[in-house]
Amino acid sequence: MNKNNNKGCVSGILGTLAVILGVVLYALLSSFLCGVFVGARFPEKPVCALLTFLIPSIGIAFVIFEVIFVAWQIKLSKKGGDDEKKFKKIFKIVSLSCISALLLLLVVSANTYTKLDDSTISKVCFIDYKSYDIDEDIERCTLSCSADGELSYTVTMKDGEKIELFNAVNSYGEGFSDEYENLFGYASYLSEKLASCGLPTRIAGEKYMEQYYKEDHAEVWKYLEAMIRMVE
């Protein structure tokens, strides 16, 4: 009895670790594929994609991996019993269905994002279903830093849509790093472009930016300082 309990405990721990590993691999693969798809679809210009469906899809992926794990546990519990063959067949059907659902989810996640380039910010789900012109459709940009050092760069459109640049999982297309280095560089580019159109970036929490980034994160501070100076 104790051996069976120990066996069940070990398989439960291993199964839980397998589920967690599966979810992590799913998230990494989704981000990687998004970069591949974006680079292939927009080879003519540097593009960054903010994965807008990744977090919800991770939750769904976790549930799918759990279903596979539970089905596997049930199959193991029926080993040697009269229903062994029946539950092997059920496990096979459940596993194949779940894997198909995961692949579909992966494709949808990798193709649902906010696209950033030098002239537009677009909402994409396989196709561009909403596009904003940087020169015409932006109402304001806000760079802020909280008391605990969390940075935020929010682009507010004239129709009320808000897009957060820094607090999102992102994937760079080919050439984006060379052109802007990172999202901080893109935000600086955006602020400079809008300032030339008479729309200076709003700054909030400047003292916290200096406190957290001036000394310890000089590679970020150079962009923050540039944006701050634009409104002085």
> What percentage of the chain exceeds 70 in pLDDT?
95
pLDDT, residue 202, reads 94
Let me know: does 87 contact 78? Beta carbons within 8 Å: yes
Complete DSSP assignment for 44-105? TS--EEEESSHHHHHHHHHHHHHHHHHHHHHHHHTTTSTTHHHHHHHHHHHHHHHHHHHHHH
- pLDDT of res. 1: 47
Residue 151 pairs with which residues in a beta bridge? 145
pLDDT category, 75, cuts 50, 70, 90?
confident
**Global confidence as pTM:** 0.84
Question: What's the pLDDT tens digit per position in 108-135?
Answer: 999 999 999 999 999 999 988 899 999 8
At residue 7, the pLDDT reads 57
Q: With a cut of 80, say whether residue 173 has pLDDT above it.
A: no
* Percentage of the chain lying above the pLDDT 90 cut: 61
- Residue 176: burial class (beta carbons within 10 Å; 0-12, 13-18, 19+): buried
Answer yes or no: is pLDDT of 175 > 90.
no
Mean pLDDT score, 226-231: 89
Three-class SS state of 41: helix
Q: Identify the band that residue 228 occupies on the pLDDT scale cut at 50, 70 and 90.
A: very high
pLDDT reported for residue 85: 83
Query: Stretch 32-52: mean pLDDT, rounded?
Result: 88
Q: Assess contact for 28 and 89: CB atoms under 8 A.
A: no
